[in-house]
Amino acid sequence: MGLLTGLILGGLVLVAVAIAAAWTSRARTLSGRVGSFECGRRRTADPSSGFSAGVGQYGAAQLYWWRSLSLAPRPSRRWARDEIVIVSREPLDTPGRVLVTCRVDDEIFELAMSREAYAGLTAWTEAAPAAVCRVI
């Protein structure tokens, strides 16, 4: 093996290790945040499309969702708390998991989460502060 080949292979291994370390760090950071939970997302109510694995997090005014298989520092999706409407909930074949259909404006999407995360979602949406009308 030549010196150039060894340097190229060493560089590729170094890049692979750096990417794996960044992904592991991101996954641990997201799952360790307050209000975070495992949550699969499906773009439409079309059963033929698959779920994207991810992590959801309840924020002060928004629900954030990050893809699991990504290095992006920002969430893939975010929905305002006062715009989320929970349309339905049904149990999944996996014990302790539920399928939640949500609507925000014209977007309909499904979230697969644990029953505990669903209880948190409903409490979080219902606990939103009332809209304050400002009279000048």
pLDDT tops 70 at residue 1:
no
Q: Which two tokens stand for residue 105?
A: 């404006």
For the chain, the structural domain boundaries read 32-126
Give tens-digit pLDDT for 98-136: 999 999 999 999 999 999 999 999 999 988 776 655 555
81 near 125, Cβ under 8 Å?
Answer: yes
Q: What are the backbone dihedrals phi and psi of residue 32, each rounded to the nearest 5 degrees, phi first?
A: -90, -5
32-126 maps to CATH 2.30.29.30: yes
For residue 131, the model assigns a pLDDT of: 62
In DSSP terms, which residues pair with 85 in a beta bridge? 103
In DSSP terms, which residues pair with 63 in a beta bridge? 58, 79
Residue 125, judged by CB atoms within 10 A of its CB (0-12, 13-18, 19+), counts as middle
- DSSP classification of residue 2: -
Binned at pLDDT 50, 70 and 90, residue 30 comes out as: low
39 near 55, Cβ under 8 Å?
Answer: yes
For residue 33, the model assigns a pLDDT of: 63
CA-based nearest residue to 105, from 87, 122, 131, 129: 87
87 near 98, Cβ under 8 Å?
Answer: no
